[in-house]
Chain A
Amino acid sequence: MWHDGCPRLAAVNGHARAAGLRPHMRLADARALLPDLVTTAGEPQADRRLIETLANWCDRYTPWVAIDPLGSAIAEEGTEACSAGGFGGDAGLLLDVTGCTHLFGTGEAGERALLTDLTQRLSRHDFSCRAAMADTAGAAWALARFAERQTDLFCPRHGQRAALATLPVEGLRLDAPILETFLKLGLRRIGDLYPMPRAPLARRFGDQPLARLDQALGTLAEPIEPRRPPPAFRTRLAFAEPIGRPEDIAAATSRLLAALCRQFEQAGVGARKLEIALYRVDGSVDRTSIGTSRPNRDNPKLMKLFEEKLGELDAGFGVELMILGAPEVEAWDGTQDALPDQNAPAVPAGIDGTIDLADRLALRLGTANVVRLLPRDSHLPERVQVAVSVGTKPAATGAWARVAGLKGARPTRLLQRPEPVDVMAPVPDDPPRHFSWRQHKHRIVRAEGPERIADEWWRPRPDGSRPPAGGVPLVRDYYRVEDDDGGRFWLFRDGAYKVAANGQPTARWFLHGFCA
């Protein structure tokens, strides 16, 4: 129940519906019809969460699970969507089980077994539910809500035309005004629409009734949009008894992985990402995933990656079903190259394993923390070194030496951001005599420089701005200095000297690196 100027009904149960109550009815009207009506406050967000949990749970049957857009309107703040068909609040799930029923039996028997399994399991969790199976989503929607006999819930192949004929016209998922007109005109059953001429119907009511009818009958396609992209490769393992021990889960994972790797081999692909889902007996689902930096279908190596992650999974009261899917696959090139080496003797292929090492490290430390370094042509020292992911093609042999050869002497460590230092320089263009950094004063004995590095005016700054076209570009004058202790530093003066208000020249000095 929620407020829209006045309290209204959000959802009604079977008895209330029999008494003539409908969702979206004013509470006052409902009370007039049924004085001893029992109501509780509606919680659309909680309903939404519950239906999402159920949708997760339904992933056990098929990866193509969608929340019925009409039923899910319960979560929307507005009440308008709820009026569709007059049955808002009846949340629904749409499952496309094409190609999934063979797991429960062959042919029609398998389809019936899946349906029975679904309703039985849901009732075991104290959900009152009705599930129907038909060739089209529209027909199944109508049957689940309006079929009168239990046996009608299963619609045999190509039987939707006959099955729908006797159902009320509400089963077509029509907008409320159209539905009202239909009822006024005496079109009460879906079958009443079959003999109607199509052109006048479309002129009178617009495209919706015909489109809905065609979708229900299967002459117009109605794709189901899955909640998460279904993996192209997927294996499942159901257990007769729930399992809970970590060793059992690991053993099951290894079996699933072996089956999946066989699928990979047949398709000539390797996994970039694998996701394992544990369906627990209490209806909740726990998932974890691993990623590899290049296509992989090596069972032991993938298993090793999984071993790191399986510890995070919680079996809860027991796991009754496990599904392993590969959401990301890539064509497999058949090699696991080593990182490049220069003039050293080649390590025999296959025993290298650097890539696997990188995958293991990235899994625990994060992909951003396991990187390779690439040189970049730039004058600015901090731009020369780029960190890229391990999967990227490495720099050519000697590329780094070439980059280093073009520049002057550089520090061994470069501060991520230059640190301001206080200096004492006797002559404006000379290197400083002293500088202090972090409360340490360094007396400079030897110095080299300046090496002028100008701003790269052709490139946008990190903040997106470009240097002013007419103005003086930012320049840095770098000095390599050595203090009386032998410590070598890389200092720079930001820009040219300016004359301050008191007539003294000023400049800002920075420490940018430490030399060997």
Chain B
Amino acid sequence: MPVISPHAFAPSAANDLAAGVPLGLREKVRRLERAHSAQRGGRAASVALGMPAIDALLPEGGLLTGALHEIEAGPAPSGRVASHDGAALGFAGHIVGRFARQAGGTILWCRRPTGTFDAPPYAPTLSAWFDPARVLMVTAQRDADLFWAMEEGLRCPGIAVVLGETRAADPTAGRRLSLAAEKSGIPALLLRTQPAPPQSVCATRWRIASAPSHSTPGLSDVGAARWRLELRRNRFGTPSAAEIPSWLVEWNDETHCLSVVSQTLDGSSSAYWPESDTARLVG
């Protein structure tokens, strides 16, 4: 397995300040912060999302492996709460696929059924991102059991990535999952249908809402899936210009890649870009 050392990452433009600091010192600071070490258990420290604009903001050029990442379904652009998290699940599937490609093994998918309107993930669609044959699907009736199953998975070396689907987040559980992920180097994902309280512990928190797709000119067909992506928490990452960095991304079903849609070319308004000149640390 190729080990990606800190040397492999050329400092990005936004990282200029940190470039002068010796690597040993940076690693020491990271350890003090209990963040992560550059290599752990034969796994690379991070996995790129495949979108350079977003990866530049993330530590080590991608999502850290030994950490907890939260994905929540956000309200639609009109402010209305979406009735489903199909888009958030799609983004989670993309991340799971990225992690699963980097590390072999089983994908542990833990979910808690939502009652009458239960809609489980549909494996044929998920096969666009990863092979569902690798999934171990676990159903828990209580949140306590769900978090326990995730923690057990995070301790098992044969697991590539652990994903948990639940409604609300429990800060204690988030902390425990973070610690377990840090210890083993296995990435943990939490997919939530409800926004979290801001104090919850995680390395990154994403809020996903579906966005109108782009039809073929002259027709009104459904185009490639587009999501409004917000990076609401970015621990150890590079501060961005915006308070909450936000992108419009498009999933290409044929090339199987996610790309940032340029706002100006798309012709849509720039309402999603809060004007802010002051750089602020998020997280």
Residues of A within 8 A of B (CB): 338-347, 351-354, 356-358, 360-361, 364-365, 369-373, 375, 381, 384-385, 387, 390, 394-401, 403-404, 407, 409-416, 419, 437-438, 440, 445-448, 480-482, 484-489, 513-516
B226 touches A414 (CB 8 A): no
Known: A361-B149, A514-B86. Is A414-B122 also a contact (CB below 8 A)? yes
User: Is B170 an interface residue when CB atoms closer than 8 A count as contact?
Assistant: no
A373 touches B137 (CB 8 A): yes
A395 touches B133 (CB 8 A): yes
B104 touches A447 (CB 8 A): no
A338 touches B105 (CB 8 A): yes
User: Is B18 an interface residue when CB atoms closer than 8 A count as contact?
Assistant: no
The interface residues of chain A lying within 8 Å CB-to-CB of B120 are 413-414, 416
User: Is B215 an interface residue when CB atoms closer than 8 A count as contact?
Assistant: yes
- From B26-34, B56-64, B155-163, the one touching the partner chain is B155-163
B125 touches A446 (CB 8 A): no
Q: Choose among A344, A400, A412, A487 the residue that contacts B160 (Cβ–Cβ < 8 A).
A: A344
**Nearest 10 pairs of A and B residues by beta carbon:** A344-B104, A516-B90, A514-B86, A352-B158, A485-B76, A413-B119, A514-B84, A354-B158, A400-B127, A395-B133
A437 touches B104 (CB 8 A): no
Q: Give 22 pairs: A residue, B residue, CB < 8 Å, sorted on A.
A: A339-B134, A340-B134, A341-B160, A342-B104, A357-B136, A357-B156, A357-B158, A357-B159, A360-B152, A364-B145, A365-B145, A373-B132, A375-B132, A446-B221, A482-B213, A484-B78, A484-B212, A485-B80, A487-B210, A513-B86, A515-B222, A516-B225
User: Is B280 an interface residue when CB atoms closer than 8 A count as contact?
Assistant: no
B138 touches A513 (CB 8 A): no
B102 closest partner in A (C-beta): A344
The interface residues of chain A lying within 8 Å CB-to-CB of B152 are 357, 360-361
B87 touches A399 (CB 8 A): no
Known: A370-B136, A416-B118, A438-B83. Is A344-B127 also a contact (CB below 8 A)? no
Q: Choose among B84, B145, B227 the residue that contacts A413 (Cβ–Cβ < 8 A).
A: B84
A410 touches B125 (CB 8 A): yes
Interface size (B, Cβ < 8 Å)?
70
Q: How far is the CB of A253 from chain B (nearest CB, A)?
A: 21
B123 touches A412 (CB 8 A): no
Known: A370-B136, A373-B132, A410-B125. Is A487-B84 also a contact (CB below 8 A)? yes
Q: Choose among A343, A358, A387, A415 the residue that contacts B117 (Cβ–Cβ < 8 A).
A: A415
Provide the bound-state CA to CA distance between A372 and B138, in Å.
Answer: 9
A339 touches B148 (CB 8 A): no
Q: How far is the CB of A169 from chain B (nearest CB, A)?
A: 63
Q: How far is the CB of A322 from chain B (nearest CB, A)?
A: 28
Task: Pick from B136, B211, B225, B251 the residue with the most CB of A within 10 Å.
Answer: B136
Q: How far is the CB of A399 from chain B (nearest CB, A)?
A: 7
Q: Choose among A338, A410, A447 the residue that contacts B221 (Cβ–Cβ < 8 A).
A: A447
Task: Pick from A341, A353, A445, A513 the residue with the most CB of B within 10 Å.
Answer: A341
User: Is B100 an interface residue when CB atoms closer than 8 A count as contact?
Assistant: yes
A486 touches B106 (CB 8 A): no
Provide the bound-state CA to CA distance between A74 and B132, in Å.
Answer: 58
B208 closest partner in A (C-beta): A516
Total A-B pairs in contact (CB under 8 Å)? 232
B222 touches A488 (CB 8 A): yes
Over the window 64-93 of chain B, the binary record of Cβ atoms lying under 8 Å from chain A Cβ atoms (1 yes, 0 no) is 000000000000111010111111011001
Q: How far is the CB of A394 from chain B (nearest CB, A)?
A: 5
B126 touches A486 (CB 8 A): no
User: Is B190 an interface residue when CB atoms closer than 8 A count as contact?
Assistant: no
Known: A485-B77, A515-B86. Is A447-B127 also a contact (CB below 8 A)? no
Provide the bound-state CA to CA distance between A489 and B106, in Å.
Answer: 30
User: Is B271 an interface residue when CB atoms closer than 8 A count as contact?
Assistant: no
Q: How far is the CB of B75 from chain A (nearest CB, A)?
A: 9
Provide the bound-state CA to CA distance between A470 and B228, in Å.
Answer: 50
User: Is B168 an interface residue when CB atoms closer than 8 A count as contact?
Assistant: no
A375 touches B123 (CB 8 A): yes
B223 touches A354 (CB 8 A): no
Task: Pick from B82, B103, B106, B156 the residue with the most CB of A within 10 Å.
Answer: B106
A351 touches B157 (CB 8 A): yes
A447 touches B125 (CB 8 A): no
User: Is B259 an interface residue when CB atoms closer than 8 A count as contact?
Assistant: no
Provide the bound-state CA to CA distance between A410 and B158, in Å.
Answer: 30
The interface residues of chain A lying within 8 Å CB-to-CB of B215 are 446
Provide the bound-state CA to CA distance between A381 and B120, in Å.
Answer: 13
Known: A345-B104, A445-B212. Is A412-B122 also a contact (CB below 8 A)? yes
Provide the bound-state CA to CA distance between A514 and B209, in Å.
Answer: 13
The interface residues of chain A lying within 8 Å CB-to-CB of B139 are 365, 369-371
A372 touches B160 (CB 8 A): no
A400 touches B123 (CB 8 A): yes
Known: A344-B104, A514-B86. Is A415-B119 also a contact (CB below 8 A)? yes
User: Is B237 an interface residue when CB atoms closer than 8 A count as contact?
Assistant: no
